[in-house]
Amino acid sequence: MSEAMIPADLPLRNDLIGEVPYGAPQLDVPVCLNVNENPYPPDHAVVHSIVERVKQVAPTLNRYPDREHIELREAFVKYLKEESKADLTVDQVWGANGSNEIMLQLFQAFGGPGRSALGCDPTYSMYPEYARDTFTAWHTAHRNPDFTLDVDRTIADIDALEPSMVLLTSPNNPTGTPLPMQDLKRILDHCQSAQVAGAADGVHPIVVVDEAYIEFRDPGTPSATTLLGAYENLAVSRTMSKAFAFAGARVGYIAASAGIIDCLRIVRMPYHLSAVTQAVALAAFDHTKEQLSQVDHLRHTREETAAWLKEQTYNGKPLQVAPSQSNFLLFGGSFDDRGAIFDQMLQRGVLIRVVGPEGWLRVCMGTDEEMRRFREALVESMRVVEHA
């Protein structure tokens, strides 16, 4: 059921009338490259650990889980130390049901009526929905033509709008653009003295960096988590859905100051992480190396696919490809009817995503065979649309 069928006599909130549920198409096609999943399933050792850990908690399911999920938070700390060299403590991390719930908790804690949040367009299409659902005003500062952050414009909008939250995404979705540390530091420094509309004197915005795809970055690129010791106004969101090949488990987490974490604890639902979810996540951390074993290959696939796309033409022009440090590519730039190309691809059993600025499409990296089929379908689809 893709569309909302709301009877007219139900008292739906006025601002939600006419809205439809968010979500990328879920279609039964041979090649699904539209939601930025890791195409490789968990290793057998991980599956075995999941079974064993769930067996351990199953007899206790009559009791509520640890609402503070301390063991899992310890695993987050250990992983961030190994993966990003971030020195954190348990009171600086927090888990939830996917980074979507993390983001919603941030909007619940720091947004609300009379508050606003600022993002940098184009960016993740769920952010305005978090804002809508929490009665937070949503604003965007436009990025540069190459999708890098326009830092001066963003800082000017912070001063003009006085938001309570500034949302930055690195790598950005849907473009894959990384956020250089010097740009992030400029915004963090500015927000330490910026005002928040309607708040008391001395209250300043928090800066949220969404690192959902950070494990796919080029080796040697630092994570924003390494700045947490220097900036109390920084929060870094992560997920296990992407590089960890754990999208079905729904586990996200955030690293921030203990004060920000305590704000999220105020708005979280009681026992929001089930005992089963905690057990499954811990099983994945038992086998971090296996879970991340395909990241290097997917990074190579991204670079190989980007080079191939740049060799293709549409209406006599080479395709553009946005530089990406994620597991997806935004490509095209000049598609005069991207919906037609999407439809032609779908007819050939390949599902990609219509997202981002007009003229562009997005594809996430699949297995080698899936990418072969993507290339074949794209060439045929562009040819059909060109001669239509």
β-sheet with 206-210: strand ranges across? 93-96, 252-256, 234-239, 206-210, 165-169, 116-121, 137-142
Per-residue pLDDT reduced to its tens digit, 307-352? 999 999 999 999 999 999 999 999 999 999 999 999 999 999 999 9
Return the minimum-mean-pLDDT range out of 24-38, 155-169, 300-314. 24-38
Nearest to 251 by CA among 264, 240, 238: 240
Residue 208 to residue 205: CA distance in whole angstroms: 10
Average pLDDT, stretch 352-366? Answer: 97
Give the mean pLDDT of 346-371. Answer: 97
pLDDT class of 27 with cuts at 50, 70, 90:
confident
163: tokens are: 């938001």
Q: What is the average per-residue pLDDT within 180-191?
A: 98
- Common-topology check for domains 14-32+294-386 and 44-291: no
Closest by alpha carbon to 153, among 161, 165, 141? Answer: 141
Mean pLDDT taken over the chain? 96
**What is the rounded distance in angstroms from the CA atom of residue 282 to the CA atom of residue 288?**
10
Q: Which sequence spans correspond to the domains of the chain?
A: 14-32+294-386, 44-291
Which residue in the block uniquely carries the two structure tokens 């794209």? 378
pLDDT value for 1: 40
For 14-32+294-386, CATH number? 3.90.1150.10
Please, which pLDDT band fits residue 29 given cuts at 50, 70 and 90?
A: very high
∠92-95-100 over CA atoms, to 5°? 120
Q: What per-residue confidence (pLDDT) applies to 163?
A: 98
Band of pLDDT at residue 4, cut at 50, 70 and 90: low
Name the helix (H) or strand (E) containing 310.
Answer: helix 295-310
User: What is the residue type of 208?
Assistant: V
The pLDDT of residue 5 is above 80: no
pLDDT at 167 over 90: yes
* Mean pLDDT, residues 145-162 taken together: 98
- pTM for this model (two decimals): 0.95
Return the percentage of the chain with pLDDT > 70, whole number.
Answer: 99
Report in angstroms the alpha-carbon separations of 25 from 190, 225, 246, 342, 354: 39, 33, 19, 12, 10
pLDDT at 162 over 70: yes
2: pLDDT strictly greater than 60: no
For domain 44-291, which architecture applies? 3-Layer(aba) Sandwich (3.40)
58-97 tens-digit pLDDT: 999 999 999 999 999 999 999 999 999 999 999 999 999 9
What is the CB neighbour count within 10 angstroms for residue 277?
A: 19
How many angstroms separate the CA atoms of 251 and 383, rounded? 41
Q: What is d(CA 234, CA 205) in angstroms, rounded to the nearest whole number? A: 9
